[in-house]
Amino acid sequence: MKIGIYGFGSIGRLLAKVSMRRGHELLSVVDVDESILGKDAGELIGVGKLGVPVTKNVESLAEADVVLHATSSYLDKVYSQLTSIIELGVNVVSTCETLAYPYYRYPVLARRISELAESMGVVVVGTGINPGFIFDALLVALSSTVPRVKRIRATRSLDAAKRRESFRRKIGVGENPELVREKLARGEITGHVGYAESVYLVGYAGDLEFTRVVEKQDPLPAEETAESSGVRVSRGLNRGITGYGAGYVDDREVIRVEFHAYVGAPEYEEVVVEGEDYTVMWRSTGTPGDLGTASVVLSVAEKTMHMAPGLRLMTELLPFKLKFAV
């Protein structure tokens, strides 16, 4: 495929590398960062000159088969970026977390994107490792073996010291915990984005009507000095975050996803599916978030040619329908 990249930060550059490793052609790269405009994309990712300069010109993406979009977490901030690609008649796969299930926070924008994509005959998907896979698509796939599901619980735990510095900044590692709490409340840092989106994606796979969906995340003060992979956090300062999203039917919690990201955290993912007849438990040794995101995005991008036009949801693309015992 001919690949376009919109947003050439750390994730955009990784998407470029992974796309070429999978045999695709990097056609164009769009970004607004003045410090990289005009520079060769290949040199920026360390693979040598490719003859693909970074440009502000969105129309340079017009000949791509699919554009991989990686700029921001919130749909209202990237809406015009997405529509500018859609209007070129090009498929879009985006890492924008709130695009994974945009009907929760942005129902009007979601409908507009879906209608525009259908009119232009293109596919738009929001995905990544999370939302997009671990807290939603994976849960649906694992739950498909259970005749009637009573409850789904998922936990993802990762050592923030092993992640990129920009990730540690967005969860406030090393800062005063109260300051981190204030920054999260103001939106100055994001922590994890997408708890509710993942819950809604799983519910959508089983036609579940939630009474309410809640999400919350908090800083995690170090009770003693924590150190891992060369990152050291003194006692009393923030190690990272813990958070969750939960979907309720009446007063019963049916779906719960928990995210633990702090310095020294164990690395694993765990899913427990409680059914009327039996319980299924799955556990991993942990998934590298950035490379996992790039892999999921490319895996979806390679399927866009076979999808119906419009705004598509990850769990909608799976061949599984869940039945909840509620």
Q: Classify residue 292 by burial, with Cβ atoms within 10 Å: 0-12, 13-18, 19+.
A: middle
Model pLDDT for residues 28-85, shown as the tens digit of each residue: 999 999 999 999 999 999 999 999 999 999 999 999 999 999 999 999 999 999 999 9
Model pLDDT for residues 130-176, shown as the tens digit of each residue: 999 999 999 999 999 999 999 999 999 999 999 999 999 999 999 99
pLDDT in the model for residue 177: 98
CA 104/CA 106 separation, integer angstroms: 6
Cis peptide before 131 (omega within 30 of 0): yes
Q: Token pair 């997408």 is at which residue?
A: 194
**Is 259 within 8 Å of 217 (Cβ atoms)?**
yes
Sheet order of strands, 212-221 included: 212-221, 238-249, 252-262, 149-159, 268-275, 279-283
CA 157/CA 194 separation, integer angstroms: 15
**Is 194 within 8 Å of 100 (Cβ atoms)?**
yes
pLDDT in the model for residue 208: 97
Q: How many CA atoms lie within 13 A of 130 on its CB side?
A: 27
Q: Token pair 């649906």 is at which residue?
A: 140
Paired residues of 257 in beta bridges: 154, 245
CB atoms under 10 Å from CB of 290, counted, come to 17
CA 210/CA 207 separation, integer angstroms: 10
* 311: DSSP letter: E
Model pLDDT for residues 219-276, shown as the tens digit of each residue: 999 999 999 999 999 999 999 999 999 999 999 999 999 999 999 999 999 999 999 9
Average pLDDT, the chain: 97
CA 197/CA 245 separation, integer angstroms: 9
pLDDT in the model for residue 325: 96
pLDDT in the model for residue 94: 98
Going along the chain from its start, the domains and CATH numbers come out as 2-128+294-317 (3.40.50.720), 137-287 (3.30.360)
CA 169/CA 190 separation, integer angstroms: 9
